[in-house]
Amino acid sequence: MRIDPRRLRFLLAIAREGGVLAAADALGVTPSAVSQQLARLEAETGCALVTRTTHGILLTDAGQALAEAAEEIERALNLVRAKLLEDEVDPVGTVRVGLFHSFLRVGFAPHLPEWKKRHPRLRLEIREDDQEELLRMLRSGDLDIVILEFDAQQSSPRLAKNMTEIPLLDEPWRLVVPSAAHGVDVVDIARQSLPSLPWLGLDASAAGSEATRRVRRALGVSDDTVHLYQDINTALALVAAGEGMALVPSLALIGTSHPGVTPLEMPGLGTRRIVARRYEGRNVPEAQDVAMGLIREAAAAVSLEEAVS
């Protein structure tokens, strides 16, 4: 079996975007080009890699295995790219980075001491804020790079001219329930067969609100919720207190203990996508390229196996 590795990015885009049209938009090519590359990849492997349903395209087991291999290749290339940039450039200047709490805590802040040693003349200035404000500051030029989070099942928004989006990490959503409910069938929990375990309400401006709505619609549960939270740590505190259950990203469960909280996996939860956005052009300082390489390297090094189970 001979596989042209250049075709893997097309399959990976289909897996991430959920369809040929969305994959074509993400790659900046025509839908027919994506379909042709997929057909050739299936011919090279001798396997059907996708199945088409009324809800979109799903990967077969063979397609999923190949997409996972493509992600490993992408991670390796990100590490190499960062190393090459480090060897070629001794950056000077300040790069302003906007990001959210869970990636800052797990995938960014732990690397700052090492980055200072590697690039003593590179200064990273951090801004934590909600996504709309981060995007506004990127558009106005007050930030150079922003790290954003989306439900991976959402359609990718069209980017402004010269703005690029760099995938960093896809991570599973997890259903968190009070530990006292551990061992109860998760589908029964999600369908609220236990009246004492409702869903927590999530502010519509929060990044996970779309994923929560999607999962609740798929499960056919009512719109009734208790409380209203915006920060994931608030959700975990309420779950630990036995007040209800919530959908949280795996990254939020890494590196800290959450007594009274049990994370559960179940089909249909989907994934959270973490991306970087920036503007590119002739006048972009080299320091921004190096900083972007460091961020990609850090994301590639995140181990989701550390999430609390």
How confident is the model over 13-56, as pLDDT tens digits? 888 888 888 888 888 889 999 999 999 999 999 999 998 877 67
Q: Which residues pair with 191 in a beta bridge?
A: none
Most confident listed range (203-212, 243-252, 277-286, 296-305): 243-252
Q: What is the mean pLDDT of the chain?
A: 86
- Tokens 């089909």: give the residue: 267
The per-residue pLDDT for 220 is 82
Reported as a pLDDT band with limits 50, 70 and 90, residue 309 is: very low
The per-residue pLDDT for 200 is 96
The per-residue pLDDT for 16 is 85
The per-residue pLDDT for 102 is 93
- Predicted confidence (pLDDT) at residue 194 exceeds the cutoff of 50: no
How many CA atoms does the CB half-sphere of 307 hold within 13 Å? 23
The per-residue pLDDT for 164 is 93
Where along the chain do its domains lie?
Answer: 5-66, 171-271
Reported as a pLDDT band with limits 50, 70 and 90, residue 305 is: low
Question: Higher model confidence: residue 267 or residue 260?
Answer: 260
How confident is the model over 91-101, as pLDDT tens digits? 789 999 999 99
User: Which amino acid is present at 159?
Assistant: L
Most confident listed range (165-174, 175-184, 262-271): 165-174
Burial of 170 (0-12, 13-18, 19+ CB in 10 A): middle
Question: Higher model confidence: residue 223 or residue 123?
Answer: 123
Would you say 166 and 273 are in contact if contact means Cβ atoms under 8 Å apart?
no
The per-residue pLDDT for 4 is 86
Cα 176 from Cα 309, distance rounded (Å): 10
- Alpha-carbon separation of residue 95 from 91, 116, 143, 209, 291 (angstroms): 10, 13, 8, 30, 7
Positive or negative: CA dihedral 32, 36, 37, 39: positive
The pTM score is 0.70
How confident is the model over 124-177, as pLDDT tens digits? 999 999 899 999 999 999 999 999 999 988 776 778 888 999 999 999 999 999
User: Tell me, which fold does domain 171-271 have in CATH?
Assistant: D-Maltodextrin-Binding Protein; domain 2 (3.40.190)
Burial of 257 (0-12, 13-18, 19+ CB in 10 A): exposed
The per-residue pLDDT for 202 is 93
The per-residue pLDDT for 88 is 57
Element (H, E) at 229: strand 225-229
Most confident listed range (2-6, 39-43, 140-144, 202-206): 140-144
- Predicted confidence (pLDDT) at residue 307 exceeds the cutoff of 70: no
The per-residue pLDDT for 267 is 83
Task: Look at domain 5-66 and name its CATH class.
Answer: mainly alpha
